[in-house]
Structure 1
């Protein structure tokens, strides 16, 4: 049988038609770019974020583009809040088939032996526990619908390598990769694919406000000669959620301009 006989032909403008997607941390940045990309592919999207006003503004912006979108406040450190956001998605759009667990925070920079205990707990609760809580409530709903689905967890390049001064963030993101692999082993046979992405340093207004020498030094760490964009990460996430990635599960995909290759 030829490759053309087994490769699905997909119209990218309608590849997610009829699917409902929940994107956490979607008021801005990678989350918003991902929600927009899924919506442009036909998905109905829930913008979930701790920043209620930002989520509502993001949903309104997507609706102005012709995308079906709704906003919900989400605190990923609260299992009850996560459960409510999943229920909101089903109540609003009738189902849940796609999820992107993106919400996260950075945390302070300090050597491991001096890292503030409360700060460590806050970062891990948000970046690791938040992903667990999200899958904990997303998976039963997707499974119960019996139509399969896909989840992408947003880790980081720091899910692969260390970074001085970032013990909490690195520990959490390594944990996200492990959670992803474990859940994929459990749910792939049920038609639910789960993968992780590891974005490198991405262009944001915060980075643009850096001292020019510091910014140039950061860029120099990337063999690609530049930083990435939220849209480039969103495109990878969309691919992993789509039927084009039908045999990809339990894997961790870097999008970092070869940062981790050197």
Structure 2
């Protein structure tokens, strides 16, 4: 992993840190010397990641968090501020996907759950993280996890595509709100990444989506983490309001 010395000692809040991309970002931040404040809906998974960071010599706190609730997002940020005095960055990663269905057959609860977590959860976290950064008087970096489907469409997933497009739009708009305050806001748009979430869709068949990727393979969580840490670090100090595709060339095809 590339070195990011400026992340050492920084306070970074990560949602959905208990598995997949969020888990790997938390571990990478711990290895970089950041102080990780991890939110996750599943308590056992989230606590296990925080424990692993500490076992490897890092600093981490865990708080059970449902990002669909603004009050819980506010409490997660408040925990970081009360314990460490400030926050320097956030990776708003928590997300979920339900079944593939044509729009007229999509259950209302699937629409509601995905919009609540994937879009409203990002909006809530940006709101509370930006407020904490402004009140702390320090610059910061916020990275939102969208998807390749925040940039292009996918059949039978209209509700998910809508949420992820919303994350891209919200990222661009919020970046303009805070650019003059030294708070940078960007989004990543991963393609197929080897995570438990993808495995549930593919049954563990790594080749299911590889044929649609110009690089002819799916990505790894660490390839996502490298991009997220770069965006959180001072190495991307002139980057805000942008989306970074991590998709093996899918959006170019």
TM-score normalised to the size of structure 2?
A: 0.95
Counterpart contact for 1:13–1:40, Cα < 8 Å: no
What is the CA deviation profile of residues 200-240 of structure 1, one whole-angstrom value per residue up to 9, with x for unaligned ones?
1011246557468x642411111111100111001101001
Q: What is the aligned partner in structure 2 of residue 231 from structure 1? A: 222
Q: Equivalent residue for 2:195?
A: 204
Q: Residue 53 of structure 2 corresponds to which residue in structure 1?
A: 62
Could you say which residue in structure 2 is the equivalent of 1:5? none
Q: 1:76 aligns to what?
A: 67
For 1:111-139, what per-residue CA distance to the aligned partner results, in whole angstroms no more than 9, with x for missing partners?
Answer: 11222122111110110000001111111
Alignment size in residue pairs: 251
Who is 2:151 aligned against?
160
Indicate the SS of the match to 1:55. helix
Structure 1 position 166, deviation (Å)? 0.6
Q: Deviations over 1:93-121 (max 9, x none)?
A: 22111100000001121011222122111
Q: 1:61 to 1:189 in 2, by over 3 A?
A: same
User: Equivalent of 1:38, from 16, 29, 38?
Assistant: 29
Report runs of 4+ in structure 1 exceeding 6 Å deviation.
none
CA distance in 2, matches of 1:120, 1:186: 28
Pair 208,133 (structure 1): closer, same or farther in 2 beyond 3 Å:
closer
Most deviating of 243-252 and 84-93: 84-93
> Runs of 5+ in structure 2 lacking a partner?
none
Aligned residue number for residue 25 of structure 1: 16
Per the TM alignment, residue 38 of structure 1 is displaced from its structure 2 partner at its CA by 1.6
Whether contact under 8 Å (1:15, 1:42) holds in the other structure is no
Q: How far off is 1:47 after superposition? A: 1.3
Q: Which secondary structure does the structure 1 equivalent of 2:5 belong to?
A: coil
Q: Which residue number corresponds to residue 40 of structure 2?
A: 49
TM (normalized to structure 1)? 0.92
Indicate the structure (1 or 2) with the bigger Cα radius of gyration. 1
Counterpart CA distance in 1 for 2:199 and 2:19 is 16
Unaligned runs of 5+ in 1: 1-10
Query: Take 2:207 and 2:194, find their aligned partners in 1: how far apart are those partners?
Result: 12
CA distance in 1, matches of 2:99, 2:196: 19
Instruction: Tell me how large the CA RMSD over aligned residues is.
Output: 1.6
Residues 107 and 168 of structure 1 are in contact (CA less than 8 Å); yes or no, is this contact kept in structure 2? Answer: no
Cα distance, 1:130–1:92 mapped onto 2, change above 3 Å: same
